[in-house]
Amino acid sequence: MANRVLIKPLITEKSDVLNDQLNKVSFIVDKKANKIEIRNAVESMYNVSVDSVNTAVLPGKLKVKFTRGGVQRGRKPSYKKAIVTLVEGEQIDLFGEL
């Protein structure tokens, strides 16, 4: 289950600023995962030391698209986000050799 705790890194402008200034990395995680499981998954996958983990469950949203065929209504799913603070001096390179 440790490999399915972290679904993917969350790459946004806000998460980029948090990474640069405060040494925090954001991930989309499994909704059933707790902070201890998230900490262990990040430490084992990226070989870093984690200082703290903050989580938030973001609700799903209704989306409306206006197309030539008419109005299409849909829903974006809810998801759980984890913001992981790394120990001073530790770093995760999410982009690799870009």
Domain that holds residue 24: 2-86
Domain count for the chain: 1
| Residues pairing with 54 in the sheet | 83
CATH code: domain of residue 21: 3.30.70.330
Q: Does the residue 12 lie in any domain? A: yes
pLDDT at position 57: 97
The string of pLDDT tens digits covering residues 39-88 is: 999 999 999 999 999 999 999 999 999 999 999 999 999 999 999 999 99
Q: Does the residue 41 lie in any domain? A: yes
DSSP-assigned letters across all residues of 42-94: HHHHH---EEEEEEEEEPPEEEEEEETTEEEEEEEPPEEEEEEEEPTT----S
Q: Which residue carries 């990040």 as its tokens?
A: 42
pLDDT at position 93: 83
Q: In the predicted model, is pLDDT for residue 2 greater than 60? A: no
Range 28-37 average pLDDT: 96
